[in-house]
C-alpha cells in the first residue's frame, strides 16, 4: 500500500507531478511515504503530536491494567524518579548511540539524571524496573521494525550501568521498546514481552496492542490532514482535531475494541465508496489530484489488513 500513497514519488510516477522530490527539502530528496511520515522537517511537530497521542493511549492502558505494586512515571527525568543513579562513562554513552553525540570533553563520567524515557515503571515488591520507550517508525519493510527496536534498546543501554546498584542486589531491569509502525504493523512478540515483564494480565494484552495499532494508524490520517490542509493552515500543534482513540480498558462504558475496529473499517469503506462515486462523476483534468481522493481507499485497505492480522 505504500506504493500508492500520494507522495511526490507516486504522483510523479503516474504523471500527476513534475518531480518526485520533496517540496520542503533541499538537495533533491525523493519524497516517499517514509520521508513524509518519519523524516521531513516540515512535519516534525505533527510527528511529535502523533507520538504524544500514542503515549497517552499507552499511559491510559497501563494505568488501568498494572497491578497495584507498580509505580508508573510518565515523561519523568531519571533524577526525579527517586532511583539511585551512578555516573556512566562517556565512552559507554557514545558507543550506545548511533547518532553523533556531543559530550563534555573534560568529563570521563556523566550523570544520566536528565534522561527522560517515555515511561519509567518500578515495582519494589517484585524488584523490577522498566524503561518503556515508544517509537512509530516506517514499516514499509519488516526489517525497519526490528531496526527501530534495536536502536531504542541500544540507546538506553547506558541506563543499565547507571542502575548497576540495583542489578547487583537482585533487581531485574529491562529496556522495553514499544514499536508500532506508521501503518500499524508491529512485532507482536516484542509488545507481548513488554506486557509480560510488567505483569499485566494476559487477558488484557490483545486489547492494549489493538489500541496501539489503531492509534498509530489514525495518527497517519492526522499527518495526512496536516499535509493536505489548505496551505498547511491547520497548526500541527492543534490537538482538537486529532482523533482520540478510546481505550478498550477505559472505565467509561464503551463498545468493545472489536466493535470499534469494525465500525472504523465500515466508516472508511463508506468514505471510499463516496470518493469513488464523486471521482466518476467529476470531469477529468490534468491537474494534480486532491490527496483526499487517495485517502479513503488507501487507509480503508490499511485498516482492513490490520483487522485481519489482529484477529488471527
Q: How far is CA 267 from the centre of its chain?
A: 23
**Could you count the other beta carbons within 10 Å of the beta carbon of residue 265?**
17
Dist CA 89 CA 162 (whole Å): 9
Q: Check residue 246 and give its pLDDT.
A: 44
**Could you count the other beta carbons within 10 Å of the beta carbon of residue 45?**
14
In which element (H, E) is residue 306 found? helix 292-311
HSE (side-chain half, CA atoms, 13 Å) at 19: 10
Q: Confidence class of residue 236 from pLDDT cuts 50, 70 and 90?
A: very low
**What b/e sequence results for 203-216 when a residue is b if at least 16 CB atoms lie within 10 Å of its CB, and e otherwise?**
eebbbbbbbbbbbb
Dist CA 89 CA 108 (whole Å): 6
Q: Check residue 284 and give its pLDDT.
A: 47
Task: Quickly list H helices, 180-287.
Answer: 188-197, 205-228, 257-281
| pLDDT (average), residues 257-278 | 58
Q: Check residue 101 and give its pLDDT.
A: 57
pTM of the model: 0.74
Q: Residue 190 pLDDT > 80, yes or no?
A: yes
How high does pLDDT run on average in the chain? Answer: 82
Residue 178, strand partner residues: 134
Dist CA 94 CA 105 (whole Å): 12
Helix axes 257-281, 205-228, angle to 10 degrees: 30
Q: Residue 140 pLDDT > 70, yes or no?
A: yes
Structural domain boundaries of the chain?
Answer: 1-31, 44-208
| pLDDT (average), residues 151-156 | 94
Q: Check residue 31 and give its pLDDT.
A: 94
Q: Check residue 229 and give its pLDDT.
A: 79
Q: Check residue 95 and give its pLDDT.
A: 81
Q: Residue 276 pLDDT > 80, yes or no?
A: no
More confident residue, 182 or 251: 182
Task: With CA atoms as reference, report the closest residue to 205 among 106, 165, 218, 197.
Answer: 197
Amino acid at each position: 500500500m505504500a506504493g500508492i500513497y500520494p507522495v511526490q514519488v507516486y504522483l510523479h510516477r503516474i504523471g500527476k507531478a513534475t518531480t518526485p522530490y520533496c517540496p520542503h527539502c533541499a538537495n533533491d530528496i525523493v519524497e516517499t511515504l517514509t520521508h513524509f511520515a518519519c523524516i521531513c522537517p516540515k512535519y516534525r511537530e505533527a510527528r511529535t503530536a502523533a507520538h504524544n497521542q500514542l503515549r497517552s493511549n499507552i499511559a491510559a492502558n497501563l494505568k488501568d491494567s498494572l497491578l497495584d505494586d507498580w509505580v508508573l512515571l510518565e515523561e519523568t527525568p531519571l533524577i526525579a524518579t527517586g532511583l539511585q543513579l551512578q555516573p556512566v562513562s562517556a565512552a559507554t554513552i557514545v558507543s550506545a548511540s548511533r547518532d553523533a553525540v556531543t559530550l563534555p570533553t573534560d568529563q570521563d563520567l556523566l550523570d544520566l539524571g536528565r534522561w527522560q524515557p517515555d515511561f519509567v515503571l518500578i515495582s519494589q515488591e517484585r524488584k523490577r524496573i522498566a524503561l518503556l520507550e515508544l517509537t512509530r517508525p516506517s514499516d514499509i519493510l519488516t526489517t525497519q521494525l526490528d531496526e527501530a527496536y534495536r536502536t531504542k534498546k541500544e540507546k538506553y543501554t547506558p541506563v543499565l550501568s547507571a542502575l548497576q546498584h540495583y542489578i547487583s542486589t537482585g533487581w531485574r531491569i529491562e529496556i522495553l521498546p514499544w514499536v508500532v509502525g506508521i501503518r500499524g504493523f508491529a512485532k507482536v512478540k516484542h509488545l507481548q514481552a513488554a506486557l509480560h515483564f510488567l505483569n499485566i494480565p494476559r487477558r488484557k494484552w490483545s486489547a492494549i496492542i489493538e489500541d496501539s495499532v489503531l492509534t498509530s494508524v489514525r495518527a497517519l490520517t492526522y499527518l495526512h490532514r496536516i499535509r493536505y490542509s489548505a496551505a498547511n493552515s491547520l497548526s500541527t500543534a492543534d490537538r482538537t482535531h486529532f482523533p482520540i482513540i478510546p481505550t478498550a480498558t477505559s472505565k467509561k462504558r464503551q463498545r468493545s475494541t472489536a466493535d470499534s475496529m469494525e465500525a472504523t473499517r465500515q466508516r472508511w469503506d463508506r468514505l471510499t465508496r463516496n470518493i469513488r462515486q464523486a471521482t466518476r462523476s467529476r470531469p477529468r483534468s490534468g491537474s494534480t489530484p486532491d490527496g483526499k481522493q487517495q485517502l479513503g481507499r488507501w487507509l480503508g485497505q490499511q485498516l482492513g489488513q490490520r483487522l485481519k492480522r489482529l484477529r488471527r
